[in-house]
Structure 1
């Protein structure tokens, strides 16, 4: 019913508020975490369920299971000390014949390993060398040939050092038995190496060997036959060395 003299009503005032205006309505904020922590007592609250907390800390073994034992790693065995390997040097192989021609001794390599025969080319060449040197061309044989190694097997040391010691001892003993020697001819590499303690670089040179005296190193007879050009240098060297046995006469 309309009231007399009343202002006309506005229907929009009776309409419900729009949603936007409801959202602008201030709300009471929940206390912040900082305020809550300030309001809480200093001591931490007790667990609501202490039995559950204790059960969480104690591991209860399941029925039928056995407790595991800690497995200790096995200690590695100590490594055995490594022994240095000794390199075995094969024994040298040679055959040498000791002869005497005048005031000289000759330690000569046997090309075939067997004693000289009168018609052997190597022996005929040796006779030529002796004649050129002014020495008797029919040398005297002193003992059996020296063949190395001495034994076919066994534990006896037959390396290069043993060969040198044996050969020098053998020649030294023959020198004492046969008297003075003006010069020792070392003919062939085995004689030069194991009696004269030199190598092929000493060919045609004079050596001074302890215990054996003055020596002269020559190429082997077989090498002189295979390489005749070596004879020229040998003849020149012989002229220089001849004074040793020429003065001894």
Structure 2
């Protein structure tokens, strides 16, 4: 009996539709785990790079030298991207003596907002798939379960004497479809909630940096304007 009710035997004995449901859920689970590992690595790197940059930024390093050092790289991500976008726009607007300080700061902040939006889009990449997999996988499995049980009872109605051995395989294959749906959904939901929280924390840190960096640049603008007036 145990051999007859093994997973692989039940899969091969299942109807074509239930097999298709199981394969869809298996593929969904594989893709979900691939995205889980990918996002975990990406968000972990983003957090480490953010802490590394903050330590360097608040160490009192010269902003011009820091900008030149970072902009020389081929790939700029995370908080460094916000810094470079804002500082580049700040320098460009400051070159025009007719540009008022408010316009300089508004342009700088907008540049950082655009960079922030791009960074968040990159961090949230593939999270929509995890959310979708977590929400629909149980229903796909339930559909397979309903179909398998319906098929089992239809077959049961065609015989005069019903036994448990006759209906057990059909019900078992149906329940396996539900189990596979949960197997695909639970890790996806857990990962989605965890990654969404991490992205939210990173976004808050990025936004706080934008405000603090804008204040630093604004003070520099006021200081330079005061020097010009005194001269």
Range into which the TM-score falls when normalised by the shorter chain: under 0.3
Structure with a larger share of its residues in strand = 1
TM-score normalised per structure 1 = 0.22
Structure with a larger share of its residues in helix = 2
